Structure 1
Amino acid sequence: RDFSSEPMYDLTRMFVGSEGTLGFITKAAIRIQPVTPAKRTMLGIFDTPEDCSQAVADIVAAGIIPTTLEMMDNLIINTTEDYANAGNPRDAGALIIIEVDGYPGDLDEQVETIREVCKGANAKEFRVAKSAAEVDQIWLARRVAFGSVARVKPNYGINDITVPRSEFPKAIAGIEKVKREMGAIIGIVAHAGDGNLHPLILYDQRNKEEVDLLHEAEMELCNMAIDLGGTISGEHGIGILKKSLLLKEFGPQTMEVFKKVKRAFDPQNQFNPGKLIELD
């Protein structure tokens, strides 16, 4: 059946989000977007992750949707300094990297709005890159962030909880609470503009207590995201680890719809069985 004339069927998103449980893709058509004429790259540095997260929410509330809005906390700032000497202050509580693009005449006003928003959120420093070399320097820490944490622990569990951008400050506060109350070592990297957080839970897989703590902290963070109206996975997927939380996030009626879709596409349960949902 040809579904192309029926706009209610979004098969592309359905397949992309199905984690291989509905079939497999043999061909993909892509659309190439033109490169924007201009771009501005900024760095905001804050004393606390709470102030930094508030700046994220306030930037979006101001009507600006940056092409990039990345956040790193103090732990990640320090591991990246150890690894690559990126030039960020070690005493900073958190930083954000912001990029906007478009036509040159439109960008100066956006930069000034972002500057004022960061200032209002108690930014201790705000920089605008003036050259390609400065852009590269600003991005250096973010590029090496994940690999740099091996200096603290040999392993990390990467989460990808996602919350509404208006709830981003509460999510950061929730992660800080998990760190304090559970004693977990967590570094925060976030695609903050999407409300997508990557709490990196550091541990040693040779230590059973640390592995157990990893899983307990992951479940706590996922439950927090759901309670904030978010999702347990913004981009990495559900697989097996997070499958038990789907019922809480979506409810029984939606889970039944998921099962009906699965049966419609894969009645014999041949594609990636056991992932995402269990068929009765």
Structure 2
Amino acid sequence: MSDNWTAQNIPDQHGRVAIVTGANTGLGFETARMLAARGAAVVLAVRDIEKGTRAAARMTGDVTVQALDLTSLESIRSAAADLRAAHSRIDLLINNAGVMYTPKQTTADGFELQFGTNHLGHFALTGLLLDRLLPVPGSRVVTVSSTGHRIRAAIHFDDLQWENSYSRVAAYGQAKLANLMFTYELQRRLAPHGATVAVAAHPGVSNTELVRNAPAAFRVPITWLAPLLTQKAEMGALPTLRAATDPAVLGGQYYGPGNRGEIRGHPKLVNSSPESHDQAAQQRLWTVSEELTGVRFPLNRVVR
């Protein structure tokens, strides 16, 4: 696999349908833009339709906009119904949208905002759309995690919604750890079906507006050191794009920037934390996620 993978390595995407959540800005915008430029029919699944429409106007190719609010199960179900009606097949579902280091808040369904948006929202959306991917050879579910999955990160099954106490950093770590656990468990459940695989990626430290809610202790150094510590969104999107399009990618893999510390650089295969590979915790998280969202995946056989 190339050590200097760039957007030029994205294969032709004509005939493929790609749904990208959170695609009106930052990493999602660049991911969607580059897929559309390579010929994919791209759906920008966004909370703000006006912003999504403006983003689509800045792209070249077949780009449409779909309303999706990942903080609302009602919105997720409505968006999934619209997408199912519009598309008989889906080749790529890219779970990109997310929030980071937010003050303590809850979603419309009472979930802690970071866990509810980053994990549960995408869990529900994936489950509701998966039967559109399963028959499609080469189809992929790509979920964007973060190096933050290593920072104060654990799945707090005794207090998933942070009702007893709250740390915005630890809550973000839990949500991003959940993204990886979801990917690995989903891949095991997809394996017997053959056509679809689940892959994860992370952007390193990219210069986007995602850090706007970071505590001052984090935000100030990032602002001052941005030219040294971050990379542009175009580079930050490459691990996701490689996970989505590189023919050599295998299910259950994880891609991130290749330089030391995985902060920046060309995308390559990387490792995730030992905690993310805890199969018992993955299975428990899956069961809890089904219970909380009410979404069951159309997968019957599971390889252990």
Q: Same fold (TM over 0.5)?
A: no
With normalisation by structure 1, the TM-score equals 0.26
With normalisation by structure 2, the TM-score equals 0.24
Q: Larger Rg: 1 or 2?
A: 1
